Structure 1
Amino acid sequence: MTMSLRTTGRLALGLLASTALLATACSSNDRPDERAPSGIGETSPAPDAPPLEPLPEEIPAELRSYYDQELSWSACDAAGFECASLTVPLDYENPDPADDIRLTVTRDRAGDASRRIGALLMNPGGPGASAVDFAQGSAEYLFPEEVRARYDMVGLDARGTGRSEPVECLSGPEMDEYTLTDRTPDSDAEADQLLAAFEEFATGCQERTGELLGHISTIESARDMDVLRAALGDEDLYYVGFSYGTKLGAVYAGLFPQNTGRLVLDAAMDPRLPTLNTDREQAGGFETAFRSFAEDCVSGPDCALGSEDADDASRRLSDFFAEVDAEPLPSGDPNRPLTESLATTGVSMALYAEDLWPMLRAALTAAIDEGDGGPLLELADMYNEREPDGSYGTTMFAFPAISCLDSPAGNEDAEALEDTIGSYEEASPTFGRDFAWATLLCAAWPVEPTGHPVSIAAEGATDILVVGTLRDPATPYAWAQGLADQLATGILLTYDGDGHGAYGGTSECVNSAVNSYLLENISPEEGTTC
């Protein structure tokens, strides 16, 4: 199956790469509650996270030159887009021009300049996916012509990502070896190998990235967005963010509520949750998404996972993972057989969008019935951004680098893991162990976290539109409920469907509601479900 441009742009760029994988008609009804179907709306009570305080409205004198800079635009490779470099301080608390970093920004000017609303920044998530690539490759397909006529389409590669001084960790061959590592060790020796792989990865990031590794937090990237807003000449920031991009957008609103324009936060994260909760609940989200796929698969002919029910399909998939753990399948690349880790990554990749289910069905048939691991490896490579020449994109490096800086590790060591792994397996019998062991990557991280869970109210901001999908694999629906609830002006739009992110997909109800908000500043009625 060939993915559509919309799918490649919105999903394959890694809307939310999970740590473990290194990841209708409208009705105006009451908001879905905590009694939603199994796996939906189930989340640990939000802890007492401290509030994110807004920054002073007056720009500090030492930052004025960054806000007053003029961007020098030139043509990009992408037709219709131009590119520029935005200069920002490495450390906002101690700005020093000698340490400045340069971020790449791209834009396509509004088609109707006389009716221009502003610059519409977009972020595809990750963290670590390239907003420049996303804007250039997907804006035309994601946003209808009437939105593109009224807004400049803008992508800013956040610090440490894409073309903005990206984090570097391992070479292509080293990444190949890293992705082969068993992520669900069955012995002390395998556990030692996994922990050693995490240490090697973390050390590589420190050695190849240097001081920047300690200055790629979400708060710093949100501050970069405000500098860009001023450099573009806009009083308000307009924004559409997916997955991790919702956290980035919410943090921006919390820091700069007075500058917040129309924000769309689709496939939302809840910034109040600590890493342990987030990873465990995300594992549950993938379990829910897999069961939705499994029900569809077993209802049709020739499903490699059987013809009974989702429970049986889950058992068969777990058996398959155990089989490739014991004996990896040939994939067509003698140096890269399909291991359990790569098989898990391939399956998980296809759960991001219902459009990918036919590809997953075919890949499982090839692997289980024919002993060919090639199609599942192709899905894993898509997720890992591995190119045919053996090189890797930057998302797999930036994701843990930003995540581990933003919040303390879910488990500090293997001993702590033993106390929590059961809760991961309960949340997700299929993917739980993988997610649990992956938490130890941040435990090996060479830079101490500078962030922590926060509650974001963004008092004074205009309405902020939060979009949640009931069977989202990577960002459980309860997170969208939580984000909308804590935002003082949050409006929740619910999509009763599958996949990671709703806007730009097949729901005309969702698309119409979001477009009306962007174009007319009309929010959907509270409790609207599509």
Structure 2
Amino acid sequence: MSRRRRAGRLAAVALVAALSVTLSGCVTWFMPPKTSATSAPTGETVTADLKPYYGQILSWTSCGSGMQCTKAKAPLDWKNPSGGEISLALVRHVATGKRLGSLLVNPGGPGGSGVEFVKNNLDYATDKTLQSSYDIVGFDPRGVGASTAVKCYSPAQMDTYLYAITPGDRGSDAWIAEQKQASVDFGLACEKNTGALLKHVDTVSAARDLDLLRAVLGDTKLSYLGYSYGTYLGATYASLYPGKVGRMVLDGAIDPAASNFDVTKVQSEGFESALRAYMKACLAGKDCPFSGSVDQGMATIGRLLKTVDASPIRNADGRELGANTLVTAIIYPLYDSTAWSYLSQMFGDVMKGKAAFAFTLADAYNNRDSSGTYGDNSTEAFMAINCLDYAYDANPATMRAQAAELSKDAPVIGPYMGYGDIGCANWPDKTTATRGPITAPGTPPILVVGTTNDPATPYVWAKNLAKELSKGHLVTYKGEGHTAYNKSNSCVNDAVDHYLVSGTVPASDPMC
């Protein structure tokens, strides 16, 4: 498919919200104590062209449910700080107890809104222990959400981009040509509607923004909790500013050394493994639309995907359910095992020739409501950031060989995860990034959390990152789902809380 699945904890949040597994019922909002309405910067020495940024005073205003919001300014281009500026949106929940400082939180993506994550899902982002000790600060990275944002398509155009059926046989010359044209058109629209920002939404620039936010919040060291893609942002920060790292937790890790194809391959295998885990649970439970063994159930899903790839199912709104959209609908509930029942409902409907619930899941993943309105720019930001962060090769022979490898290693999901290089190989701005291990010598200990059957950021990446970092410490959660802190068990939560509050690092991997 032309767009690789994004890896973000925000996906699990949106799934829960969109399908009315209500988070608000378990949230207790705190009104923050009276504090200064401003944040004083650290006053550290920077070059003259950075003084207007590092010396700015943030003014906070109430923005509902005990939250405070503000915006900071940052250089458009960190290589030329005097050449224009952008704004970065922030939200904070002030510490309810003895304050240690600010804890900046990123939910993943790339393209996930940290402002919405913290503002609307505080108790999902962090537990009460961290809320007592830290100002919990969510931020929208450059290009995302309420910050100066990437803009590409109207809702109708986005529908076509995400859901249209590409004519021709998958992987054929004609099919590739159609995919290429769609990617070129999308990239040109992003360039036209976003302007100069589009070439400056890379993760290194976002990590420099993160240091700026640390300073204007008044923190001499960065305390950080990053989920999924947020682990790459955090690791990048550590490589750039090792002496300014305070306490950093990276949950659902991405391996910085992984190439674009490595990511696609390992994710394909991860989602395939999670789908098998779902199938095993489904067959052992009630109201399962499958029968026989796990292998037989997986084969049924494979046939279903091939069927809709050849003959899409038309939905009541006119959209057609093809294999790409069905894969999105399958992948989405795999982020959280508590949502697996929705998979059973969706599969049962599709087997009967009904597309509505599959579109409900795919729309929730893409943050599209029933009126056709998109709630954020996460798809545009995801593409723009990834296109600058990885190298791409859209040579048809290379892509076909890779597609065959994906189909072999992940027979059900893999056939629909190939050809992802087409989109970014035709992006207006070419990447200058090089992928490699991040060792970040000179940092204090960094906690890396990995889930053994995480479909979106597979466990091997957490193991790799913990080994690559000069002071990485792995905390393993034996279980299902994407990310582990505050959603798995007390063993993981205690390890993270003790580290962030007291600086205590587990003597060894607790294997939670």
The TM-score normalised by the length of structure 1 is 0.86
Cα shift at 1:315: 1.1
Does the 8 A contact of 1:267 with 1:469 survive in 2?
Answer: yes
Asked if the contact 2:187/2:428 (under 8 Å) is kept, the reply is yes
Residue 150 (structure 1) aligns with:
133
Q: Distance in 1 between the 2:472 and 2:14 partners?
A: 27
The answer for the alignment partner of 2:262 in structure 1 is: 277
1:215 counterpart = 2:200 = yes
Larger deviation, residues 490-499 vs 205-214: 205-214
Alignment check: 8 A CA contact 2:11 2:365 kept: no
Q: Aligned partners of 1:12 and 1:386: how far apart in 2? A: 14
Aligned residue number for residue 243 of structure 1: 228
Identify the residue that residue 241 of structure 2 maps to in structure 1: 256
Equivalence for 2:332: 349
CA distance in 1, matches of 2:214, 2:46: 13
Residues 381 and 210 (structure 1), Cα distance of their counterparts in 2 relative to 1, 3 Å cut: same
2:218 aligns with one of 222, 230, 233: 233
Structure 1 position 313 matched with structure 2 position 314: no
- The structural deviation recorded for 1:330 is 3.8
Deviation at 1:366, TM superposition (A): 1.4
> RCO greater where, 1 or 2, for CA within 8 Å and sep 6 or more?
1
Q: In 2, distance between residues paired with 1:106 and 1:206?
A: 29
Distance 2:250 2:234 in 1: 7
Specify every segment of 5 or more residues in structure 2 that has no aligned partner in the other structure, as ranges: 1-7, 17-43
Q: CA deviation at 1:175?
A: 1.2
2:419 counterpart of 1:430: no
> Contact 1:13/1:124 (CA < 8 Å) preserved in 2?
no
Partner of 2:100: 117
Is the contact between residue 13 and residue 130 of structure 1 (CA under 8 Å) also seen in structure 2? no
Query: CA separation in 2, counterparts of 1:236 and 1:386?
Result: 38
Amino acid at match of 2:257: R
**Would you say the 8 A contact 2:10–2:109 is kept in 1?**
no
Deviation at 1:190, TM superposition (A): 3.0
Per the alignment, residue 326 of structure 1 pairs with 310
Listed one character per residue, the Cα deviations across residues 57-114 of structure 1 (whole Å, up to 9, x for unaligned) are 96333212211111121121x3111111111111111112x511111111111112xx
Q: Please tell me whether residue 395 in structure 1 is matched to residue 378 in structure 2.
A: yes
Residues 219 and 251, structure 1, Cα contact 8 Å, conserved in 2: yes
Partner residue in 1 for 2:162: 179
Label 1:159 to 1:186 Cα distance change in 2 as closer, same or farther (>3 A).
closer
| 14 and 263 in structure 1: CA distance in 2 versus 1, 3 angstrom threshold | farther
Q: Report deviation, 1:153.
A: 0.9
Give the equivalent residue in structure 2 for 1:4. Answer: none
Alpha-carbon distance in 2 for matches of 1:337, 1:445: 27
C-alpha distance in structure 2 between counterparts of 1:353 and 1:234, whole Å: 34
Residue aligning to 1:265: 250
**Paired position in structure 1 for 2:398:** 416
Match in the other structure for 1:471: 453
Change (3 A) 1:187 1:413: closer
Residue in 2 that maps onto 1:337 = 320
- Aligned match of 2:489: 507
Q: Secondary structure at the match of 2:194?
A: helix
The residue identity in structure 1 corresponding to 2:487 is G
**1:70 counterpart = 2:72:** no
Partner of 1:442 in structure 2?
A: 424
Conserved? CA contact 1:13–1:129, under 8 Å:
no
The corresponding residue for 1:198 is 183
Q: What is the identity, as a one-letter code, of the residue corresponding to 1:232?
A: L
- Give yes or no for contact 1:270–1:480 (8 Å, CA) kept in 2: yes
2:222 and 2:300 map into 1 onto residues whose CA distance is 48
What is aligned with 1:361?
A: 344
Residue 244 of structure 1, CA deviation: 0.2
1:8 CA displacement: 8.8
Structure-2 residue corresponding to 1:46: none
**8 Å contact from structure 2 (residues 491, 510) kept in 1:** no
Partners of 2:472 and 2:373 in 1: how far apart?
41
Q: Secondary structure at the match of 2:419?
A: helix
Q: Is the 8 A contact 1:299 1:307 kept in 2?
A: no
- Report how many aligned residue pairs link the two structures: 475
Moved more, 354-363 or 421-430: 421-430
3-state secondary structure, aligned to 2:324:
helix
Q: Is the 8 Å Cα contact of residues 14 and 126 (structure 1) preserved in structure 2? A: no
